[in-house]
């Protein structure tokens, strides 16, 4: 009998009412994007101080760190605890997929610098350019490495200085580090492969109501998704291939 694969999701965000009502929470959004049938996924609401015991880390085949409205460079107790856990996972060479805030936390733990985005925040569907020379054909990207990927972006911070051993896999007009990898066990993405149009639109409406963005920025964000969508299927495949150590067939 094949042993069941186990994955842990570190949720650095709370569930919005919309996500709870529509999907039953972010746990389901992530598992639907990155999970496969027959796997076991546990969620830890790290933003509320919920973490696995260190002795239990070994039982997981991979980890995902979500985005967050918190700054990855702050020193809140839960953020420092998360950094400690990521250090431990690094020592164990466990596979970790870092998304947005998670991408920045991994850079921070490995000695990089994170901070406010130099060219301002981003809230839209954006194109990121793939550094094809940095990717081995037949790796988790598959044999057909795309020139670019469309991905939903929602952040005000960025990786300013990469850790020494990191390799940039994608960049954009506004940000030098859109995607990076460290060795074979850390894969980090500034954008949100798990987001769809509805999730983005609801966040845009909410932050507009709260006065965090202007009407102009809200309209502009929604306009980016008028005639096209994110490359969700391809992003999902790349992330799953990484997490599960799968090399696509030729």
In contact, 190 and 105? CB cutoff 8 Å? no
Q: What is the pLDDT of residues 52-65, one digit of tens each?
A: 999 999 999 999 99
Tokens 């980016």 locate to 224
Q: Which fold has domain 4-242?
A: Rossmann fold (3.40.50)
Structure token digits, residue 54:
């260190």
* Averaged pLDDT, 198-205: 95
Separation of alpha carbons 43 and 15, rounded Å: 12
Distance from C-alpha of 54 to C-alpha of 234, rounded to nearest angstrom: 33
Residue 138: per-residue pLDDT: 80
Predicted TM-score (pTM) of the model is 0.96
Is residue 1 over pLDDT 80?
no
The single residue of 27, 103, 155, 192 carrying the catalytic annotation is: 192
DSSP H helical segments within the chain, as ranges? 17-23, 26-34, 77-92, 101-109, 197-209, 215-223, 232-243
Neighbours of 106 (CB within 10 A): 29
| pLDDT above 60 (res 250) | no
CA distances from 169 to 46, 141, 149, 177, 217 (A): 28, 11, 11, 8, 28
Task: Provide the percentage of residues in the chain whose pLDDT is more than 70.
Answer: 98
Q: 87-108: per-residue pLDDT in tens?
A: 999 999 999 999 999 999 999 9
Q: What is the pLDDT of residues 3-29, one digit of tens each?
A: 899 999 999 999 999 999 999 999 999
State the catalytic residue, choosing from 122, 158, 194, 239.
194
100 catalytic? Reply is yes
Looking at residue 15, its pLDDT comes to 94
Q: Check whether 247 has a pLDDT greater than 80.
A: no
Domain extents in the chain = 4-242
Sheet holding 6-10, edge to edge: 40-44, 6-10, 62-65, 95-99, 186-189, 179-182, 166-171, 122-130, 148-155
The catalytic residue among 27, 100, 155, 178 is 100
Over 70: is that where the pLDDT of 2 sits? Answer: no
Average pLDDT, the chain: 95
248, pLDDT greater than 80: no
Segment (H or E) for 128: strand 122-130
HSE at residue 209, side-chain half, CA atoms within 13 A, is: 6
Angstrom CA distances, 219 to 98, 120, 215, stand at 29, 17, 6
82: nearest Cα among 13, 152, 165: 13
Q: What is the pLDDT of residue 143?
A: 83
Asked if 192 is an active-site residue, the reply is: yes
Predicted confidence (pLDDT) per residue in 108-148, tens digit: 999 999 999 999 999 999 999 999 999 987 889 988 899 99
Under 8 Å between Cβ of 179 and 190: yes
Instruction: State the first-to-last Cα distance of the chain, in angstroms, to the nearest integer.
Output: 28
* CA–CA dist 104, 115 (Å, integer): 9
Mean pLDDT of 206-235: 95
């Amino acid at each position: 009998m094949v042993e069941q694969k186990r994955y842990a999701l570190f949720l650095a965000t709370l569930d919005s009412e919309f996500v709870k009502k529509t999907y039953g929470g972010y746990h389901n959004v992530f598992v639907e994007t990155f999970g496969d049938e027959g796997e076991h996924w546990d969620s830890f609401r790290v933003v509320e101080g919920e973490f696995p015991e260190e002795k239990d880390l070994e039982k997981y085949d991979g980890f995902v760190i979500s985005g967050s409205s918190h700054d990855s460079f702050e020193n809140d107790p839960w953020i420092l605890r998360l950094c400690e856990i990521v250090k431990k996972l690094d020592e164990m060479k466990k596979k970790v997929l870092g998304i947005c805030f998670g991408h920045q936390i991994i850079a921070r733990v490995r000695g990089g610098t994170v901070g406010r985005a130099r060219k301002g925040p981003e809230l839209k569907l954006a194109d990121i350019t793939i550094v094809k020379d940095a990717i081995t054909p037949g790796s988790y990207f598959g044999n057909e490495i795309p020139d670019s990927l469309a991905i939903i972006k929602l952040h005000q911070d960025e990786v300013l200085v990469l850790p020494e051993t990191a390799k940039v896999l994608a960049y954009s007009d506004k940000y030098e580090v859109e995607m990076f990898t460290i060795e074979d066990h850390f894969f980090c993405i500034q954008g949100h492969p798990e987001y769809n149009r509805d999730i983005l639109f609801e966040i845009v409406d909410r932050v507009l109501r709260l006065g965090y963005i202007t009407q102009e920025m809200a309209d502009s964000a929604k306009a980016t998704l008028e005639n096209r969508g994110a490359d969700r299927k391809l992003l999902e495949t790349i992330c799953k291939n990484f997490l599960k150590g799968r090399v696509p067939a030729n």
